[in-house]
Structure 1
Amino acid sequence: MESANFVLAITPPGLALLVEAASPLNERFFRNSVARDLTRTGHANSEALLDVMVKSNKASAELAGLAPTFVSCFATSFSVVNELRQGGLWWILGYATIFVAFLLVIIKLVHGKTLFELDDEAAVSWRMKSGTRKRTAVDLSSYAVYAANILLILLTVAVFYATRNSSAPA
């Protein structure tokens, strides 16, 4: 893999990581927006309604980003693995297996739940000395976006180093 192709291959997932980290669609944005909407409709004193609407909006925004992320990471991986002429099939099978596992976990987390439940109920929890740590399905889907893009970057780095010393792709 040539250096220019390497830079081109890691730019989209790198930018996707920046967009995910700097997204304006966060809980503060939704809380302010929903509070204004409730004030306009005469429901300004309903904290429970505010909480439901904020968590539902947050969940829908997070879940809406999963499909484009997974499709772009998976599709881009084919062009990266194309640099490997021999043995590339095993790389893509391993990579595809990881993505199928990601998707199955996400489907398991969201199946049968409302948008509010996705950001209200703990999907996983574990005990630590400092207390119990809980993560919602919305938290886990955000981590999945980071993981998918980081995985693509790692695949690109691995292919770059595997092919950099040969004049023709390995």
Structure 2
Amino acid sequence: MEVPLTNSWQKAMAGRLKEFTGIDPLTIDQQQWTEQGQVAKKHPLYRAINIQEASVFVDATGQVYPGLGLGRTDIQVAHPRTRYRYSRPSWLLLGGQRKPCLLKSAQCRLKLPCLVQAYRLDEVADSLLGTRRAIPVDVIEVTRWADRKALILPAGK
């Protein structure tokens, strides 16, 4: 934010940067036009739009629409509502760069619920952390096999 939201809310980092350096930073708001967990918290205009990809609105002259809080930010990015495949957000598939790996009950000998983690076979473990495990590429919780969840993985082993 470049200016305070209210009289009680002080300047955020962009406002301070502008004040102390004279540099007018490019500020981008990705919160107002993003889905919220509760319908009541969704902005009324966000409820009315149906976009398929992250979008920036422009007017008839090609000028970027800065949003309802004029002067607070330079650009507002609107994000589409989450769609799901295999009980996972479809954006995890990265447009086909990652593939779903469906789990079968025979693959897991643990009692449900359980966490299933996928690691790269060739990733070097960090000995400084005192662990021999690498960072998981994906993690899911399985509570019921009927949910047909999938790990979403990049190519490789």
TM-score range, shorter chain: under 0.3
Normalized per residue, the structure richer in strand is 2
Greater gyration radius: 2
Normalising by the residue count of structure 2, what TM-score does the alignment of the two structures yield? 0.24
Normalising by the residue count of structure 1, what TM-score does the alignment of the two structures yield? 0.23
Q: Which has the higher contact order (CA 8 A, sep 6+)?
A: 1
